[in-house]
Amino acid sequence: MGFCCGARDAEETAHSKEAAHRHSQDRASGESANAGDQLARQLPLLDGNGAGATVRLTVRVVKAEGLLGMDIAGIDARNLSLARTLDALVSLTINDEEQPFGKTNVQWRSRGDPVWNEKFQVDIRHPRSYLCLSVLDDNPVFREGTALAWKQSCGFLEVPLWSLPRNRAVAGWFALNHPDIADNDSGLADRQEQLARVQSEETAKPPESAGRVKLELLLEMSFTQEVRGYLTPAPTFQASPPPLDLPGLLEDISEVRRLIFERLVLPPISAVMYAISWENLALTFAVVSCYWFLFFRPRFLWATVLSVCLLCFWHDIPEAQEEVEVQEDVGGGRRSLLRPVKTGIFLVDRVTKGVASVTNEVTRQVARGAGAIKDGVGDVIGVFGQIRGPNLTELQNLLLVMPGLSLTFRHLQPRVTSVRSGLESLDNMFYWGEGSATASIVKAVTFALVASVICSSYMGALSWYLFLLGGTFMTLTDTPVYKAPCAIMKASSRPQVPFKDCQWFELDE
């Protein structure tokens, strides 16, 4: 009996020791996991060489005033208006992170001027980041921390951290943006776009004030850390795709097709084919002469290229400019500046016609070959011109069969619109849609043409140096050799005055 009791006691002792050992191992692994998570959250801007600590932002949420009341608490006897309160809390995030790094305690039934005086710290991954602040109204029933938590936005604000001085505490009042401007669940890019749209609408009635919040900010970071931070990829903010607009998308695609085929690409090709087709003997002879001239005088290559660029702007003068020119001609009794040029072209045409009559038999065979080439290019152009995309009904039927394409079309819309606006800008430039801008470009190209002719003896060496520097620049754009000077310039430009010229900030002296 004693032997059995002793054996049982020894077995229980062994089990208890084993359980204690297992519990100590689980505790140690848990502590190491927590330490690993804490270390993972500390994301330094350095590359692990031990050259300094992490870049840390300290935020103290002091208080607020003038917040929007979301709950009706009765009637204010002073002005016989509804008295409103809110259960205010502040949520802090960096950029578009889903989980906030800090939330204040809820100030229940505050009158729009809650006081928190709570401090939070977070590690910054990149200097070009935003501190996103949201003031929320908690719900007494579905309160924060429960499974059915429901909160209402009372205002928001994005603070650019690159406008904050290094290693200096800044205290001040930050004006909140009204919650009607942007949805609280939208991304940072969407909020910035909607805020810019509201600010650009001068005739629209500005939204009422959402109050302001007093913050104390401290960005602990050295100059070297900021430079290394700029060497890392900057955060990107993706905007939500706009609602699907099939008629607008098809209109943009049709306009892009028209600009490419009818305005910017096919006209130069047709002009080149016409220049070498011998339909205009003077023009084709001038092209051949220029070709042989460049073979013996390659230093005038830049002058030839710039002359071709000028020919791209040679269109009919707009009506407004023609009227001004005619009035100047009649009033002043002076010849138009284009008349000597036309006279010179006429004389060259007469001379080249005489030369062409002598070499007519030879040029007839060349013209036949050039005509065949032109016909082939024309056939190819005709095939491209007949390309047609789906119409509105076909696209709608396609979306009924494949509804997943709707999101693809939504993402495609901004890109097509951007391509269209870029092509329209080129069209306005080449076809004198914006006369003053095109005139300035023509003057600059003309000046470069004259300079290339005067300095023709140096153009060869200049071309080789430009080729060398351009190739080197394109090769080094993605290397630290190019990024380091840019990072140093950005870090050096950090202001000493916090949030200068920002109307939403008031420094607390």
Residue from 220, 239, 237, 242 nearest 93 by CA: 237
pLDDT number for residue 29? 43
Number of domains present in the structure of the chain: 1
Q: Which residue has the tokens 């030879």?
A: 362
Q: Which pLDDT score, from 0 to 100, does residue 430 have?
A: 83
Q: Residue 289 falls within a domain, yes or no?
A: no
Asked whether residue 15 is assigned to any structural domain, the reply reads no
In the prediction, which pLDDT does 47 show? 37
**In this structure, is residue 115 part of a structural domain?**
yes
What tens digit of pLDDT does each residue of 188-222 get?
A: 888 888 888 887 775 456 667 789 999 999 999 99
In a domain, 223, yes or no: yes
Domain encompassing residue 115: 55-231
In a domain, 62, yes or no: yes
| Residue 117 located in a structural domain | yes
pLDDT at position 302, please?
Answer: 85
Radius of gyration of the chain (CA): 36
- 61 within domain boundaries: yes
The predicted pLDDT at position 151 comes to 74
Starting at the earlier edge strand, list the strands of the sheet with 56-65.
115-123, 56-65, 212-220, 170-175, 505-507
pLDDT at residue 161, rounded to an integer: 93
Give pLDDT < 70 ranges for the chain: 1-54, 70-84, 140-150, 184, 202-207, 315-390, 509
pTM: 0.63
Question: In terms of C-beta density within 10 A (0-12 exposed, 13-18 middle, 19 or more buried), how is residue 129 classed?
Answer: buried
Q: Domain for residue 35, yes or no?
A: no
Output the domain CATH number for residue 180: 2.60.40.150
pLDDT at 71: 59
Which residues on neighbouring strands pair with residue 126, listed in sequence order?
A: none
Is 191 exposed, middle or buried (CB count within 10 Å of its CB: 0-12, 13-18, 19+)?
Answer: buried
**Longest Cα separation, the chain:** 139
Q: What is the pLDDT of residue 226?
A: 92
Of 248, 252, 260, give the one whose Cα is nearest residue 385.
260
